Every structure is written in structure tokens, then in C-alpha cells.
Amino acid sequence: MADVCEIDSDSIDAVIFDLDGVITKTAAVHREAWTRLFNEYLQSRSETTGEEFRPFEATAYLEFVDGKPRYDGVASFLESRGIEVPWGTDDDSSDAETVCGLGNRKNGYFLETLESGGVEQYDAAVDFVRTLQANGIATALISSSRNVDEVLEAADLSDLFPVQVDGNVAAELGLRGKPDPAVFVEAASRFGVGAERAAVVEDAQSGVQAGRAGGFRVVLGVNRGDELQAAELGAAGATAVVESFAQVSVTKPSPAPRSSLPSALEELEQIRSRVAGHDLVVFLDYDGVLTPIVSHPDLAILSQDMRLVLQELVSVVPVAVVSGRDVNDVRSKVDVPGIYYAGSHGFDIIAPDGIPVHDDRLDAFHTYLDSLGRATRDLEQRLATVDGSQIERKKYAIAVHYRRVAESDYPIVEEAVRAVAPSVPDLRVTTGKKIFEFRPDFDWDKGRALQWLQGELDLHPPRVEPLYLGDDTTDEDAFRVIRNLGLGIVVGRDGEDSLARYALENTNEVRSFLASIAEANR
């Protein structure tokens, strides 16, 4: 059995995770609740009928209960012991000697332990989920449990998965439990993804069997140091069995030369066909997309024709402008109501009603203001004599522009930037088109901002098709995030290779493209 696994972002669009034992440390809590239930029941039955008391074993848990819906687990184990009881109904009392009654008693034991002890997360698993998301791979959660919301909230993970198919959803849709693959297939379908381009991550034998039965490309077994469990997962058909997500690698998508990308205008009918039947949401950069790149940021003025197109577009689909500019600057320059504005690469967001968006992650950026102030003053002093240089202080970033600097002075600008950087270690330096930028050294970029906005707007696959138009290296983070779940369109044929799917030549083509999208969605 292999002890490493690779998730290839060019061949896998979605990864479906089980909850207990994979994301949260609740498998032991479930096992404890099942053991308590069956040993109490078997002991009581022995005293009543005179049958020999045989306790509930670890092997029985793995074979008959682990990963299955609650009532199915009860029925499966009782059948293995030759015990027949009525099925009952979901609202049976926990004292009832029925499948449902016993299942409800087990659930009570589980919740009792959950409330008293809380829930821990597997940090490496959560980091792995976020790595997948950052590389444009969709992630979903499945569970046979009907307590998923309570578990995620207790583990402070309520916002980790955009799609969840739990025991409640399965009951509503009439989906059979594991080892039937129905819940995995349903989760993948919510991203518009087939099993052949999806992976399953499971710690239960029944879950691995379900993944194999569903034809999923990769079925990853997670063993938490139990030799018996490892053997069961391998025997069930796992592609690989690992004990740590450090053994799982994610290959990043390969960018392509911009000159090789198909034209979004020439392929307009194909794009329209793809987004038909979906709720469209459009994300737009400002400089280089809505306006041409100019020598000075203040000269990048939105044309009236482009403004009219944006007004038409926002009347039919949600629109967000995600820019490196200060949020108030880009909002005043666009001046179109009804748009979400994300400034400083998504560090600062204003809702369509003009009210700044507050969030624990966004509010954390305030701690970087002192460092940004110190770096600004130092840069201004070092570049005061360099003609054409411009230091643009934004709320959460500093842009050092050198588009108008003589080429012979480029090294002076770079030397100043590299001299200042060590004095502000909580800031990172990034580059763009004739620009250096100091930003908070925080796990946030245009891709993260795009994901956050989709959550804020409640716009998730499969009903939603996101389009993102950008032109610079900072937009590649967004292209990566939506690569397999939407359409990235890069503006301009010159520049570094891109992860976008299509290209447009210039802002004139952007205007024509957006006008066509607005017309198609009226």
C-alpha cells in the first residue's frame, strides 16, 4: 500500500472529506458513545433473557458501525448478533427498544460528551483543505452524522466548507448511507464535478468502499496510528493510506503563455453556453481591465462608455471590483451603485450600501498600520531625489511606482525597497507592472478576497459561475482559486504566463465582452 498521495490540480477539481476522524477529533467520541450504547443494551438483554453477555469489540465498530448513518449502524450490528428489534420511527424515545430508539440514545451520549469536552480539529487536515482551496480545488464535507453544524461550530470551523452533505441532507434527499456512494456523488455534483475528477478522503472502511464504488479518481484513507484500521482501509480499496497530510502533496496548475490563450470574444458562445443555467457573478480588477495602464495612477479615469456597461451589468448580475487601490479611491473612480468594492487586494471591503464590511480576519489588518507608516516615511526619504518615482500610501499597502523613472535609476528604486524591507518584517514585498508593493504578511490576497466575497454574497457552486477579469501578477491568485470552478480571463497578451482560461487584448475588448454578458443575462 502506498504511503504517499498526490492531488493533481490539473486532473482533480474537487476533494470530498469525511468529518469524524479526518477533520475533527470526534471519531473517538463516536466510538465511545457506540460502545456505551451497545454494552449497556447487551448487558441489559443478558440479564433479561439469560443470553451470554459478549461486549462490543473494536473490530465490530470498524465493520458494522463506523461511517454509517446512525440507524443503519444500529441495525447492522444487531443483525451481526442475530438480534431482531422493530425499526421504529425517528422520534422514538431513547428508552425504546427499537433501532431508532437505540440510535437516538447513542446520539444523546455523543452530544453529552460533545458539550462537556468540546471538539478539537486536526490542524494539518484544516491546513490541507485551505491549500486545496488556494490552488483552485473545490472542497466539500460529508458525514452520516446529523450533528455536523454543532461539531463544526464547536471546532470553530463553520466557514471551512462551502458545501456540506450531512445526515440531515441525506435524509431529505433519500440518499443511501455508506458504503453506498450517494452522499459523495451528491457533494461532487454540487460543484458540477463528476467522480472521475474528484477525490474522497475517509477514515472509515465503509467510506473507502463508497469511494471505490462511486468511481472516484482518488480514494485516500486516513489512519490515525491504528494498525487494524490501516489494514481495513487498504483491504477496502483505498488508493493510498496515510497517517499524516504531510504525506499528501498538491501539484499546482501550470500557467500558459498569454499568447496561446483563446480569445474570450471569439469563444463568447462557448462561454455563454457554459454559464447558461447558472447564477453569474463577475469580479473585475480596475487598472488594466476597466481602464488602460497609464503613467500616473490618478490618470486612470473610467470612460463613460465603460461606466454605462457596468451599470447595465450590475443590473442583471452581482459585480465586485477587486483592486490594489485604496477601496475609497477605486469606489469613487468607478462610481457605480450596487457594486462590492474590495481595495488593497481585498484587505478593505465596502458593501454596495457604502458600509465597510467587518470581519475578524479583515479587522486583523489594523495591526499592520504602524509598520506601514514607518516604511512609508523611510521610502520617501530614500527616494526623494529619484525623479519620476512615486510612493502611494494606501490604507493597507504602500505602492512604489517607477513607471516614469529613467531606466538607469531602476536599481536605485529596487535598492531602496530592499533596504527598507528588513525593518518591517511583518510586511511582505510583492511586484507588479513597474511597481513594488509592501503589504501585510498575512494569508490574504485577491484569491482569498474572491472566496470571502463569494461567501458574503452567498454565491457558491454549482448554481454559481464566477468570472474574474484581471491583468497583473496579483490577479493570478484569483485565477488559481476559480480555475476549476469558474472562468479566469486575463487582459493583455504581453506579460508573464497566466492561469487564466481565456484572454482579451485590451480594455476595449473588455467593454465589448461585458456588454455581451450583460445582454445575455437580461
Name 247's Cβ contacts closer than 8 Å, sequence gap at least 6: 3, 4, 5, 240
Considering 99, 117, 135, which residue would you say is the last residue of a domain?
117
In this structure, of 40-54, 240-254, 264-278, 459-473, the range with the lowest mean pLDDT score is 459-473
Same domain membership, residue 421 and residue 281: no
| Cβ neighbours of 418 (radius 10 Å) | 11
Q: What is the pTM of this model?
A: 0.61
**Residues 275 and 360 occupy one common structural domain:** yes
Check whether residue 246 and residue 308 sit in a common domain: no
Burial of 128 (0-12, 13-18, 19+ CB in 10 A): buried
pLDDT per position as a tens digit, 26-62? 877 788 888 999 999 999 999 999 889 999 988 888 7
Do 402 and 354 share a structural domain? no
DSSP strand pairing (248-251 vs 5-8): parallel
**185: Cβ contacts below 8 Å, ≥ 6 apart:** 195, 214
Helices (H) and strands (E) in the chain, counts: 19, 19
356: domain CATH number is: 3.40.50.1000
Query: How many whole angstroms separate alpha carbon 2 and alpha carbon 168?
Result: 35
Q: Are residues 395 and 455 in the same domain?
A: no
Which residues lie below 8 Å from residue 395, measured CB to CB, with a gap of 6+? 326, 327, 343, 344, 347, 348
The domain that contains 61 carries what CATH number? 1.10.150
What pLDDT, on a 0 to 100 scale, did the predictor assign at position 1? 41
Q: Are residues 123 and 229 in the same domain?
A: yes
Please state the domain count of the chain: 4
Taking the CA atoms of residue 123, residue 456, residue 173 and residue 121 in that order, the dihedral angle to the nearest 10 degrees is: 10
Q: Report the pLDDT value the prediction gives residue 363, as an integer from 0 to 100.
A: 65
Is the domain of 132 the same as that of 215? yes
**Per-residue pLDDT tens for 167-205?**
999 999 999 989 999 999 999 988 878 898 899 999 989
- Cα distances (Å, whole numbers) of residue 221 to 142, 325, 326, 375: 15, 45, 46, 48
Report which of residues 482 and 131 the model is more confident about: 131
Confidence at 109, pLDDT banded by 50, 70, 90: confident
The percent of residues above 70 in pLDDT, for the chain, comes to 96
> Do residues 155 and 296 both lie within one domain?
no
Flag the least confident range among 46-50, 357-361, 475-479, 515-519: 357-361
Q: Which of 225, 251, 277 is the last residue of a domain?
A: 251
| Residue 380 domain flag | no
Within-domain flag for 189: yes
- Per the DSSP assignment, residues forming a β-bridge with 340 are 320
Compute how many other C-beta atoms are within 10 angstroms of the C-beta atom of residue 305. Answer: 12
The domain boundary residue, chosen from 117, 134, 156: 117
Mean pLDDT of the chain, nearest integer: 89
What is the CB neighbour count within 10 angstroms for residue 455? 13
Lowest average pLDDT, out of 178-187, 300-309, 414-423, 450-459, goes to 450-459
Cβ neighbours for 485, distance < 8 A, ≥ 6 positions apart: 13, 136, 138, 191, 192, 461, 466
How many CB atoms within 10 Å of residue 270? Answer: 11
Q: What is the CA radius of gyration of the chain?
A: 27
Please tell me which residue in 285, 287, 326, 445 is annotated as part of the active site: 285
Instruction: Say if 375 falls within a structural domain.
Output: no
Q: Kindly state whether residues 190 and 337 are assigned to the same domain.
A: no
Judge if 55 and 87 occupy the same domain: yes
Residue 360: its pLDDT value, please? 62
285 noted as active-site residue: yes
Residue 362's contacts (CB-CB under 8 Å, 6 or more residues apart) are 347, 348, 349
The pLDDT value given to residue 296: 81
Q: Which three cell numbers stand for residue 138?
A: 473545490
On whether the CB atoms of residues 473 and 496 are closer than 8 A, the answer is yes
CATH number of the domain at 431, please: 3.30.70.1020
Q: Are 346 and 469 contained in the same domain?
A: yes
Find the domain containing 342 and state its range: 258-364+444-520
